[in-house]
């Protein structure tokens, strides 16, 4: 009991300000203590590694030595504001953060305004949105700051009412004591403020008394979103920041040789500027339409890029050569052994890469949706030749990320173009650019071998081989700076990331998982759920294969080998709710899969229709393919701050998983990607999405929230793949399953962007 | 440069721009109406979906020169006024189902949903799975299931 209270006691601050500003340090969670324990035996890869420390712990620990303050402000009008040092890209962190503040402070959530903080270099590692780490790392600090505010307000009221603070309550934004009219917190905000920085000890609310945390809430920005008022970077009105686009090379990262007609293009209607920048030729004009015309009119000779002449098969060959060997097969055992191929995928969001930049001789201002704004600021300052403090980086609301916004390709280009032109720019990538030159999930192979004898599994080995994943957005620095303190020995940061993010959930005896990377010639990044969709998909298919060989039911086998009750509960839940094993017509099948990561567990059951009439149903300019008709998904993130938001994230992950398994990939041909449109890159559409989806948020199993934003992708892609194997009787070994068939007519690469159609009126409906 | 006169969200506007500039850019870059979003510029993603004389259309594929003084454009910003309320029932349904994630696609989704329900109701029938499957609007955040639920609810209530 005493322990329980001690765990809720924290130290915060009140800052010197005319109104109440309550603060707490980021990076102080109990997980930090776990890492300081003596490391486990340093056998690598150790199956238990993610139980000692995982990526979340590392990102949280990284912040501790340099932690800085986040602050909750109470204003005279009774509103509360907070600048979140993270990016909101659809995952709902502004809403869950507002919930934490509302809970701890005792105000209605409508009064809490959460904005996104500008880049704050003093936060060093603590302004990176990634690894599904936001709620995990901010859960306690945000509540501590809000609790400080509450404590100060109660103390101020006590002085005012001349009654002890213990007799005063703060609820619904009103401070009251028996026998007196309540007072709004806005009236006390100045009184509760401080002339100097002071320490304030607080006790967080007991879990049992929560009325906001753990209840389903709608997004705080929902009204703005449905009325078109939500502002993304391209919607901001920055004076004279005219539309700007870049004419890009026909091959990945090709370079400008020479431009034949710059003057002619500069004279085109609406065009104000044309100049070469490091990634191509930038044009600026009155409208984006005129920029598209200008880009199309430019005659540029291009030099080769970084993947010149390469096609899918060449990369497949590179991967084969780079694969790490497996130990010899144990004698007198049976094995299942297979290699799976995962083609390049695009993490393009619906909002393309974009940014506004206003670069002057002595300063620069940038607006963009950025998940690593500090690294962006440092890199942009270096590129512009300005001191870091002269560059202001505003983080705008993002139209999706999926890993894309860990990078700042658009912001860096905008800064460069603005400097070249000496004018503000509103720079946007065309969809074709975003698809062809934007970041990708690297092509990879994953070889899995499971050795067994009778009913016993003796060992599990996986060799994941991938085109290099670019982690150069700050995560690399975190890993480098903390790796020495982690029990993983001396390995590179991609391997560290891999080891920390992969969990072996089954009791399969000795197990090893190794990553090797090759070829840095592609624009890659950590696409949502990073290595896990591929690694887990390969594993889960082989678990199904093993079940067949052992003549056991895939669900029953998983259940028997899962390592803990928490995992088993998730799996059992989907089996029960999804009626596992129900008879299905020929050509239809269920698939079931499990995945654990980010201190969370998840299980997915799907039903897939692979009948010919379904697969070949006619849809214009689309891939129909097998249809997922139903999904049942169970998730346990430890503590679900906002179950409605968590459901939304799982729904999103399910649709990603379906795309990865069935339809979405980039085709590399002769040094460039063929896809240039959403009708080429087949992300899940309404005709692919399951008509029936049931997401089950399991009862909380912990006092702390795990990560959720990426969690559901791996189990979803795996369940669909397993269902495909069961429905068709063939083990799919390359993904997405339709990759071998090119289902569209590729657009030209010169000019790099397609012209807009003119027949829109004919298609009104 | 030629002048073009048409109506947007109940008001007459005149813009001075070349004939072939697509309406999406006229709305966003010249008139500052940023509800319709860019997602492809080639009438594929449907993020820019708005209404032209009450029908769904994609302004990225319509040259401004194709519009006349009687043409009425409705963007997401003008949708509530078409029913004389603070919010259109479809927007309410969107809030009830907490549909939006990043929100970037949602103005286009809602404008397409309104047109779909209007069409289905004019045919005197209920919204089917096949109707919902026919919507081409991309949502890269994968909000499709909640979109389906919201449309079905709005069609039943409305
Ligand atoms: S921008 Fe108009 S349909 Fe994509
Ligand atoms: S809500 Fe993000 S694209 Fe649809």
Cβ separation B138–A683 shorter than 8 A: yes
The minimum-distance atom of ligand 2 relative to the CA of B99 is 1
Residues pairing with A81 in the sheet: A73, A113
Cβ separation A677–B75 shorter than 8 A: no
Cα gap A269→A286, rounded to integer Å: 9
Q: What band does B61 get if pLDDT is binned at 50, 70 and 90? A: very high
- Residue B129 Cα to ligand 1 midpoint, Å, equals 24
Cα gap A365→A372, rounded to integer Å: 16
Do A759 and B60 form a contact (C-beta atoms < 8 A)? no
Question: CB-based contact (8 Å) between A660 and chain B?
Answer: no
- B139 CB less than 6 Å from ligand 2? yes
Residue A125 has pLDDT above 80, yes or no: no
**Ligand with an atom nearest the CA of residue A400:** 2
Please compute the mean of the pLDDT values over residues A348-355 and round it to a whole number. 98
Domain B3-76 -> CATH class: alpha beta
Which of A89, A290, A431 lies closest to B102 in CB terms? Answer: A89
Cα gap A65→A87, rounded to integer Å: 22
Chain B contact set for A288 (CB, 8 A): 25, 28-29, 38, 41
Question: Could you name the CATH architecture of A233-306+353-428?
Answer: 2-Layer Sandwich (3.30)
Which of A226, A754, A764 lies closest to B100 in CB terms? Answer: A226
Question: CB-based contact (8 Å) between B89 and chain A?
Answer: no
Question: CB-based contact (8 Å) between B9 and chain A?
Answer: no
Q: How far is A615 from chain B (nearest CA, A)?
A: 14
Cβ separation B21–A685 shorter than 8 A: no
Q: Measuring CA to CA, how many Å separate A335 from each of A32, A726, A734?
A: 40, 20, 20
Q: How far is A676 from chain B (nearest CA, A)?
A: 9
Do A492 and A479 form a contact (C-beta atoms < 8 A)? no
Cα gap A16→A1, rounded to integer Å: 35
Residues pairing with A342 in the sheet: A444, A735
Residue A305 has pLDDT above 60, yes or no: yes
Q: Tokens 């997602």 — which residue? A: B39
Which segment of A578-582, A707-711, B132-136 scores lowest on mean pLDDT? A707-711
Do A700 and A725 form a contact (C-beta atoms < 8 A)? no
Q: What band does A202 get if pLDDT is binned at 50, 70 and 90? A: very high
- Chain A to chain B Cβ contacts (< 8 Å): 237
Cα gap A758→A745, rounded to integer Å: 20
- A92 CB less than 6 Å from ligand 2? no
Q: What band does A681 get if pLDDT is binned at 50, 70 and 90? A: very high
What CATH number has the domain spanning A314-345+439-735? 3.30.365.10
Mean pLDDT, all residues of chain A: 90
Q: What band does A119 get if pLDDT is binned at 50, 70 and 90? A: confident
Cβ separation A350–B119 shorter than 8 A: no
Which of A648, A759, A763 lies closest to B101 in CB terms? Answer: A648
- Residue A658 Cα to ligand 2 midpoint, Å, equals 17
Q: Tokens 């934003």 — which residue? A: A709
- Residue B43 Cα to ligand 1 midpoint, Å, equals 4
Question: CB-based contact (8 Å) between A400 and chain B?
Answer: yes
Residue A132 has pLDDT above 50, yes or no: yes
Tokens linked to A30? 């109990």
Q: What band does A82 get if pLDDT is binned at 50, 70 and 90? A: very high
Q: What ipTM was predicted for this assembly?
A: 0.98
More confident residue, A379 or A434: A434
Residue A451 has pLDDT above 60, yes or no: yes
Closest of A272, A747, A251 to residue A522, by C-alpha: A251
Mean pLDDT, all residues of chain B: 97
Tokens linked to A538? 């390969």
Closest of B88, B96, B141 to residue B112, by C-alpha: B88
Q: Measuring CA to CA, how many Å separate A108 from each of A98, A227, A727?
A: 10, 23, 50
Question: CB-based contact (8 Å) between B50 and chain A?
Answer: no
Residue A199 has pLDDT above 70, yes or no: yes
Dihedral-angle region of residue A310 (phi above 0 means left; psi in -120 to 50 means alpha; beta otherwise):
beta
Amino acid A48: pLDDT: 44
Tokens linked to A249? 């090379």
List the 233-252 stretch of A: residues with Cβ below 8 A of B: 234-235, 237, 243
Amino acid A2: pLDDT: 59
Domain A2-26+68-227 -> CATH class: alpha beta
Q: What band does A138 get if pLDDT is binned at 50, 70 and 90? A: confident
Cβ separation B38–A428 shorter than 8 A: yes
Cβ separation A350–B104 shorter than 8 A: yes
Q: Measuring CA to CA, how many Å separate B7 from each of B31, B73, B78?
A: 12, 6, 11
Q: How far is B75 from chain A (nearest CA, A)?
A: 9
Cβ separation A686–B141 shorter than 8 A: no
pLDDT in tens, A637-662: 999 999 999 999 999 999 999 999 99
Among protein residues, the one with the nearest Cα to ligand 2's atom 4 is B139
Q: What band does A39 get if pLDDT is binned at 50, 70 and 90? A: very low
Which of B40, B63, B98 lies closest to A644 in CB terms? Answer: B98
pLDDT in tens, A512-563: 999 999 999 999 988 898 899 999 999 999 999 999 999 999 999 999 999 9
Give domain limits for chain B: 3-76, 81-157
Q: What band does A60 get if pLDDT is binned at 50, 70 and 90? A: low
Which segment of A41-55, A204-218, A370-384, B63-77 scores lowest on mean pLDDT? A41-55
Cα gap A33→A448, rounded to integer Å: 35
- Residue B104 Cα to ligand 2 midpoint, Å, equals 5
**Global confidence as pTM:** 0.93
- Residue B33 Cα to ligand 2 midpoint, Å, equals 19
Tokens linked to A8? 């809720």
List the 76-115 stretch of A: residues with Cβ below 8 A of B: 89-92
**Ligand with an atom nearest the CA of residue A402:** 2
Please compute the mean of the pLDDT values over residues A22-47 and round it to a whole number. 46
**B144-157 and B89-96 helices, crossing angle to 10°:** 130
Q: What band does A31 get if pLDDT is binned at 50, 70 and 90? A: very low
Do B47 and B116 form a contact (C-beta atoms < 8 A)? no
pLDDT in tens, A473-512: 666 555 555 554 444 444 566 777 777 777 889 999 998 9
pLDDT in tens, A730-742: 999 999 999 999 9
Question: CB-based contact (8 Å) between B113 and chain A?
Answer: no
- Residue A369 Cα to ligand 2 midpoint, Å, equals 15
pLDDT in tens, B110-152: 999 999 999 999 999 999 999 999 999 999 999 999 999 999 9
The whole-angstrom distance between residue B77's C-alpha and the CA centroid of its chain comes to 9
The residue in chain A having the minimum alpha-carbon distance to the alpha carbon of residue B58 is A760
Amino acid B39: pLDDT: 98
Residues pairing with B52 in the sheet: B55, B73
Cα gap B61→B89, rounded to integer Å: 28
* Sequence-separated (6 or more) residues with CB below 8 Å from residue A720: A591, A606, A608, A628, A657, A658, A661, A662
The per-residue DSSP string of A346-383 comes to E---SSPSEEEEEE-SS-EEEEE--SSHHHHHHHHHHH
Q: Ligand 1 pocket: which residues have CB below 6 Å?
A: B 38-41, 43-48, 58, 60
Amino acid A50: pLDDT: 57
Chain B contact set for A710 (CB, 8 A): none
- Residue A431 Cα to ligand 1 midpoint, Å, equals 10
| Main-chain dihedrals φ then ψ at residue A720, nearest 5 degrees | -65, -45
Chain A contact set for B73 (CB, 8 A): none
| Main-chain dihedrals φ then ψ at residue A732, nearest 5 degrees | -75, 135
Amino acid A208: pLDDT: 92
The residue in chain B having the minimum alpha-carbon distance to the alpha carbon of residue A713 is B142
Cβ separation B42–A685 shorter than 8 A: no
Q: How far is A759 from chain B (nearest CA, A)?
A: 6
B81-157 adopts what CATH topology? DNA polymerase; domain 1 (1.10.150)
Residues spanned by CATH 3.30.365.10 within chain A? 2-26+68-227, 233-306+353-428, 314-345+439-735
Closest of A735, A737, A724 to residue A588, by C-alpha: A724
Do A368 and A392 form a contact (C-beta atoms < 8 A)? no
Amino acid A37: pLDDT: 35
Pocket test for ligand 1, best of B25, B43, B50 (most atoms within 8 A of CB): B43
Give ∠ CA A436-A438-A444 in degrees, rounded to 5: 85
* Sequence-separated (6 or more) residues with CB below 8 Å from residue A727: A587, A588, A589, A608, A609, A610, A626
Percentage above 70 pLDDT, chain A? 91
List the 475-514 stretch of A: residues with Cβ below 8 A of B: none
Question: CB-based contact (8 Å) between A650 and chain B?
Answer: no
List the 118-157 stretch of A: residues with Cβ below 8 A of B: none
Provide the strand spans (E) within A234-386. 242-247, 255-259, 271-277, 280-285, 300-303, 334-342, 345-346, 354-359, 364-368
Cβ separation A686–B144 shorter than 8 A: yes
Cα gap A351→B48, rounded to integer Å: 12
């Amino acid at each position: 009991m005493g322990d329980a209270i001690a765990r809720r006691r924290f130290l915060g601050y009140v800052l010197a300000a005319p109104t109440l500003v309550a603060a707490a340090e980021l990076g102080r969670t109990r997980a930090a203590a776990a890492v300081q324990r003596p490391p486990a035996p340093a056998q690598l890869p150790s199956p238990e590694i993610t139980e000692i420390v995982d990526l979340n712990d590392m990102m949280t620990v990284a912040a501790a030595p340099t932690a800085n303050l986040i602050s909750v402000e109470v204003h005279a009008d009774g509103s509360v504001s907070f600048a979140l040092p993270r990016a909101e890209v659809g995952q709902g962190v502004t809403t869950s953060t507002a919930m934490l503040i509302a809970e701890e402070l005792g105000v209605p959530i409508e009064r809490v305004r959460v904005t996104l903080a500008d880049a704050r270099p003093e936060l060093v590692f603590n302004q990176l949105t990634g690894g599904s780490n936001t709620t995990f790392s901010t859960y306690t600090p945000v509540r501590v700051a809000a609790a400080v505010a509450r404590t100060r307000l109660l103390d101020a009221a006590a002085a005012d009412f001349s009654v002890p603070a213990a007799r005063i309550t703060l609820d619904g934004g009103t401070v009251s004591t028996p026998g007196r009219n309540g007072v709004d917190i806005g009236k006390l905000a100045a009184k509760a403020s401080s002339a100097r920085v002071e320490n304030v000890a607080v006790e967080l609310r007991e879990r049992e008394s929560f009325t906001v945390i753990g209840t389903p809430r709608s997004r705080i920005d929902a009204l703005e979103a449905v009325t078109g008022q939500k502002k993304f970077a391209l919607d901001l009105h920055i004076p004279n920041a005219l539309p700007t686009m870049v004419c890009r090379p026909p091959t990945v990262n090709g370079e400008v040789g020479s431009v034949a007609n710059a003057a002619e293009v500069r004279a085109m209607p609406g065009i104000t500027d044309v100049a070469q920048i490091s990634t191509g030729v930038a044009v600026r004009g009155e409208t984006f339409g005129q920029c598209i015309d200008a880009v199309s009119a430019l005659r540029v000779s291009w030099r080769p890029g970084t993947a010149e002449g390469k096609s899918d098969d060449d990369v497949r060959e590179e991967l084969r050569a780079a694969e790490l060997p497996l130990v010899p097969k144990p004698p007198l055992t049976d094995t299942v052994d297979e290699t799976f191929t995962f083609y390049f995928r695009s993490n393009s969001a619906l909002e393309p890469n974009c940014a506004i930049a206003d670069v002057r001789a002595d300063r620069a201002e940038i607006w963009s949706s950025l998940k690593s704004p500090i690294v962006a600021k440092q890199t942009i300052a270096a590129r512009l030749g300005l001191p870091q403090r002269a560059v202001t980086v505003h983080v705008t609301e993002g139209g999706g990320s999926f890993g894309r916004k860990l990078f700042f390709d658009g912001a860096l280009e905008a800064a460069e173009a603005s400097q070249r032109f000496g004018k503000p720019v509103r720079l946007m990538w065309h969809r074709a650019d975003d698809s062809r030159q934007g970041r990708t999930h690297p092509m990879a192979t994953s070889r899995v071998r499971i050795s067994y004898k009778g009913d016993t599994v003796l060992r599990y080995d996986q060799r994941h081989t991938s085109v290099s994943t670019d982690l150069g957005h700050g995560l690399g620095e975190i890993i480098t700076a903390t790796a020495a303190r982690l029990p993983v020995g001396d390995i590179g940061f991609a391997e560290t990331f891999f080891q920390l993010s992969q969990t072996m959930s089954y009791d399969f005896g000795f197990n090893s998982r190794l990553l090797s990377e090759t070829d840095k010639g592609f624009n890659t990044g950590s696409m949502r759920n990073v290595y896990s969709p591929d690694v887990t998909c390969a594993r889960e298919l082989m678990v199904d294969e093993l079940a067949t060989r052992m003549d056991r039911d895939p669900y029953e086998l998983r259940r028997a080998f899962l390592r803990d009750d928490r995992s088993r509960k998730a799996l059992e839940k989907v089996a029960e709710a999804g009626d596992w094993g129900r008879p299905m017509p020929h050509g239809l099948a269920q698939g079931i899969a499990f995945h654990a990561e980010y201190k969370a567990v998840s299980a997915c059951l799907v039903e897939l229709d692979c009948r010919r009439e379904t697969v070949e149903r006619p849809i214009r300019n689309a891939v129909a393919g097998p249809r997922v008709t139903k999904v049942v998904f169970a998730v346990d993130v430890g503590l679900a701050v906002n179950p409605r938001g968590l459901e939304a994230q799982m729904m999103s992950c399910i649709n990603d998983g379906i795309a990865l398994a069935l339809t979405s990939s980039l085709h590399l041909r002769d040094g460039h990607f063929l896809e240039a449109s959403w009708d080429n890159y087949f992300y899940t559409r309404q005709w692919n999405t399951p008509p029936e989806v049931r997401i089950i948020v399991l009862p909380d199993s912990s006092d702390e929230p795990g990560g959720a934003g990426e969690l559901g992708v791996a189990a979803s892609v795996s369940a669909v793949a397993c269902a495909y194997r069961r429905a068709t009787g063939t083990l799919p070994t390359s993904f997405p399953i339709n990759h071998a068939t090119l289902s569209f007519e590729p657009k030209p690469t010169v000019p790099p962007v397609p012209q807009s159609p003119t027949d829109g009126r004919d298609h009104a409906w | 440069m030629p002048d073009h006169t048409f109506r947007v969200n109940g008001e007459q506007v005149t813009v001075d721009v070349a004939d072939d500039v697509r309406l999406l850019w006229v709305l966003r870059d010249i008139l500052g109406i940023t509800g319709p979003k860019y997602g492809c510029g080639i009438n594929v993603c449907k993020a820019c979906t708005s209404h032209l004389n009450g029908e769904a259309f994609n302004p990225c594929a319509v040259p401004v020169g194709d519009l006349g003084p009687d043409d009425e454009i409705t963007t997401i910003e003008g949708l509530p006024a078409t029913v004389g309320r603070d919010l259109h029932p479809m927007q309410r349904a969107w809030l009830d189902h907490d549909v939006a994630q990043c929100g970037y696609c949602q103005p286009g989704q809602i404008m397409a949903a309104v047109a779909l329900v209007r069409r289905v109701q004019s045919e005197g029938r209920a919204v089917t799975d096949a109707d919902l499957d026919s919507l081409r609007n991309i949502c890269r955040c994968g909000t499709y299931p909640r979109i389906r639920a919201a449309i079905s609810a709005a069609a039943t209530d409305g």
